[in-house]
Structure 1
Amino acid sequence: MTQLSLRLRIFLFFVLIALGGAGITALALWLGYGRALATTPANGFFFAGILAVFGIVALSAGVWLLFDENVAKPVERIASEMRVRAHAGVDRQVDLHGARYLGDLAHAAEAVSARLSETALASAQRVAEETAQLAADKERLTALLTEIPVATIMVSPKGRIVLYDGQAAEVLAQIHVPRLNAAVTDYFLAAGIDAAVREMHRTGREVTLTLRSVDEAQSYHGRMKPLDAGGYLLIIEEAEARIAPQAERPMVFDFSLLTAPASAALEDTPLRALTYVVFDTETTGLLPHKDEVVQIGAVRVVSGKIVPGEQIDQLVDPGMEIPQSSTRVHKVTDAMVHGQPDIAEAGRRFHHFARGAVIVAHNAPFDMAFLRRHQSRMGVEWSNPILDTVLLSAVLFGASQTHTLDALCERLGVIIPPALRHTALGDARATAEVLVRMLPMLEAQGMSTFGEVLAQTRQHGQLLEDLN
């Protein structure tokens, strides 16, 4: 059968329907004729009709199952695998065995994909050669800025953080976790910032200001310098003497945020213009109404890229003993969570980390149920828009596929180190890498805005109900 062409194989499906239908009809008439002789002609005719209808329906269902298993599903898998290679940059072979009944289609798809991969690899090598020097220059610049005893933050015309260096990262971390594309007023009181911006615009020159943290626990002397492209540089002096020595961290920036278009309605916002916070929790059990969180892990995705260093890895005191069965999964023990923040404090910290972002999780209803149950204790409201990678997987690969995190990672070429699997930060990082690979695939299928993606995911809501 594997040697037959696809056209001939599909023709045989129709032959099977025709011959099977004729045979079933003949058998039904013969049985009906016998019943008519024993009873009445009307009874026999009615009996034959019922047998023929049920027989043809059963035949059609059987042929459909054969067609679905050997033609439709393999075609769907080939399409998804080619999209993964084309848009997610994952080099994986087409499943030739699974598509063995599709004639030459799978081999042709593999040949095209392999040729495109070779071309992409050659282009990538040329780009890598050109960017190697830029990377070296960036490292030297980072090292130089680390030695300068000031902290530098670049702010866009809309008041969003576009760049912060290692010194600034430590200053921001004393207030909240540093966040690219966050409002600078999330860290420093707006009154001082706004007054300095007005003065800078009035004079067109550098101004000095005193920066007070939003919790009013710290203050810094700073300078605000206007930028030609709009926005300004915020230079915090004497930062080195005010922070504890930390390991060097890279300068974090995204200059595209300087010229980001005006904010649109959420449904009309392009996928890459959104900021995502991808998170995961580890818990004492699988019952959100009675179990508790023991660990929260989260990372941020800005402009379609995971932002280095912007993450949460927080143990949480659940206020109850952690069952040994749960500890065997996530390796979190009672001793590890002793003295750690409770869910109220940890939840508030995560809520601030997710401010203004789309929250993303794998099976989000499960993780969000724990947070929403305690939102009154946290003093917050979880109103962020939410995306679920289970539903995104169903949109891209079809509802009939497996949508576990492990299956998604294998499909998209994401590697989770065994030591990090079933840790909150490890699973959050893996989910974020999955999301980053999915975004260009969604765009390639014509879903370029958040609203378009949300509309598609709603069609697969039953998957989450089955999971939970």
Structure 2
Amino acid sequence: MTRLGLRLRILLFFAAMGLGGAALTGLGLWLGHSRALETGATDGFVFAAIIVVFGLLALTAGIWLLFDENVAKPIERIAAEMRVRAHTGVARDLDAHAARYLGDLAPAAQAVSDRLSDSAMQTAQQVAAETERLSIEKNRLTALLTEIPVAMILVNPRGQIVLYDGQAAEVLAQLHHPRLNAPLSDYFEASGLDRAVRKMHRTGREVAFTAEGVDGAQSYAARMKPMDGGGYMLVIEGAESHFAPEAERPLVYDFDLLTRAQPACIEETPLSELTFTVFDTETTGLLPHKDEVVQIGAVRVLGGRIVPGETIDQLVDPGIPIPQASTRVHRVTDRMVRGQPDIAEAGRRFHRFAGGSVIVAHNAPFDMAFLRRHQARMGVAWDNPILDTVLLSAVLFGASDTHTLDALCARLGVEIPEALRHTALGDARATAEVLIRMLPMLEARGMTQFGEVLEQTRQHGRLLEDLN
């Protein structure tokens, strides 16, 4: 059979259906005729019709199963694997055994993929050379900023953080986790910022003012300087730095935030412009209605990359003993969580960290159930849009494929260091890497806006019901 051409093999499917239908019709008529001689013509015709109808249904189902298993599913897998290679750069051989009944399709697809890989390699070499040049320029800029004894933050016209240096990160961290695209009013008292901004716009000059922290316990001498095109630079003086004098202060930035337009609603936002908070939890067990969280890990994804330094790796005191069976999985012990924040405080911190972003998780209903159960204690509402990588996998690779995190990582070329597997931060980072690789695949399928992706994932919601 493997030597037959694809067109001949499909012809055999239809031939089997036609010949089988003719044989069943003949058998039904013969049996009906025999019955008619004993019970009457009407009874014989009815019996023949029943035999033919149910026989044709059984034949159709059998041929469909063969077609689905040997043609449809292999084609779907080849298409998915080609998209993986086209949009993620993962170089894997196509599964020739699964496509053994598809004639020359698998070898032809492999040849196209190999040619694509060769072309991508040449492009990657050119990009690498340009990236190295840009990296040298960035290092020079970073070294220059290291000599300036102030903290610096760039803010876009909508009041969102576009850039912060290492010393500014330390200032922001005293108030909350530093985050690109976060409103500066998450860190400093909004009315003071507004007054300074109005004065800056009125005079067109630099404004000196006192920036009060939102917690009321911190205040900083600050200067606000307007930038061309809108927005401003905030310079904080006298901020204590823990960097060594000779150490370079890292820069975290995304200059696209300076000019990015604000969409009318989240559903109309392009995938490439969304901010994602990807998280995972480790728990005392698998029952969200009675077990508790022992660890929360999260990373932020912006502009198709994980933002360096913007992470949460928080142990949580569950208030109950951690079973040994759970500790063997995630390696979190009772001693490690003693004195750590409870779920109310840890949940509030994570809620602020995820503010204004799409929350992403692998099997999100499981992790979100733990957080929503305690939201009254946290004093927050978990109303962020939710995206689930299980459902994204079903959209891209078909519902019948395997959608575990390990399977996705293997399929998309994501490596999880063994020391980080089954830790909240390790699994969150792996999920983020998977998400980053799937986003261009979704866009290539025509799903460029968040609402379009949500609509597709809802069609596979039954997968999560089965998982949970």
Alignment of structure 1 residues 31-110 onto 2, 5 Å = 31-110=31-110
Alignment partner of 2:47: what SS?
helix
Cα distance per residue 1:86-110 (max 9 Å; x no partner):
1222222221111111111111111
* Residue 297 (1) aligns with residue 304 (2): no
Code of the residue aligned with 1:390 in structure 2: it is V
Any conservation in 2 of the 1:280–1:425 contact (CA below 8 Å)? yes
Code of the residue aligned with 1:338 in structure 2: it is R
> In the alignment, what sits opposite 1:466?
466
Code of the residue aligned with 1:260 in structure 2: it is R
Cα distance per residue 1:113-154 (max 9 Å; x no partner):
111111111011011112212212312332342343211101
Q: Which runs of 4+ in 1 moved over 3 A?
A: 243-249
In 1, Cα distance between equivalents of 2:122 and 2:260: 32
In 2, Cα distance between equivalents of 1:271 and 1:123: 24
> In the alignment, what sits opposite 1:451?
451
Deviation, structure 1 residue 188: 0.5
Deviation, structure 1 residue 200: 1.2
Any conservation in 1 of the 2:145–2:249 contact (CA below 8 Å)? no
More displaced 10-residue stretch of structure 1: 207-216 or 245-254 = 245-254
In 2, Cα distance between equivalents of 1:250 and 1:5: 59
Number of residue pairs aligned between Structure 1 and Structure 2: 467
> In the alignment, what sits opposite 2:425?
425
In 2, Cα distance between equivalents of 1:282 and 1:334: 13
> In the alignment, what sits opposite 1:358?
358
Alignment partner of 1:16: what SS?
helix
Alignment partner of 1:239: what SS?
coil
Code of the residue aligned with 2:290 in structure 1: it is K
In 2, Cα distance between equivalents of 1:245 and 1:269: 41
Alignment partner of 2:209: what SS?
strand
> In the alignment, what sits opposite 1:270?
270
In 1, Cα distance between equivalents of 2:10 and 2:22: 19
In 1, Cα distance between equivalents of 2:108 and 2:336: 54
Code of the residue aligned with 2:25 in structure 1: it is T
Deviation, structure 1 residue 311: 0.5
> In the alignment, what sits opposite 1:23?
23
In 1, Cα distance between equivalents of 2:124 and 2:107: 25
Alignment partner of 2:459: what SS?
helix
**Would the alpha carbon gap of residues 248 and 315 (structure 1) be closer, same or farther in structure 2, given more than 3 Å must change?**
farther
- Identity across aligned pairs (percent)? 74
Cα distance per residue 1:26-84 (max 9 Å; x no partner):
22222223323333332222222211111111111000000000000011111111111
Cα distance per residue 1:297-324 (max 9 Å; x no partner):
0000112221111010000000000011
Cα distance per residue 1:337-390 (max 9 Å; x no partner):
010000000000000001111111111111111000000100111111111111
Any conservation in 2 of the 1:146–1:167 contact (CA below 8 Å)? no
Alignment of structure 1 residues 296-335 onto 2, 5 Å = 296-335=296-335
More displaced 10-residue stretch of structure 1: 139-148 or 220-229 = 139-148
TM-score, normalisation: structure 1: 0.97
In 1, Cα distance between equivalents of 2:37 and 2:417: 75
TM-score, normalisation: structure 2: 0.97
Any conservation in 2 of the 1:146–1:166 contact (CA below 8 Å)? no
Code of the residue aligned with 2:162 in structure 1: it is V
Alignment of structure 1 residues 282-293 onto 2, 5 Å = 282-293=282-293
In 1, Cα distance between equivalents of 2:76 and 2:382: 37
* Residue 227 (1) aligns with residue 227 (2): yes
Any conservation in 2 of the 1:344–1:377 contact (CA below 8 Å)? yes
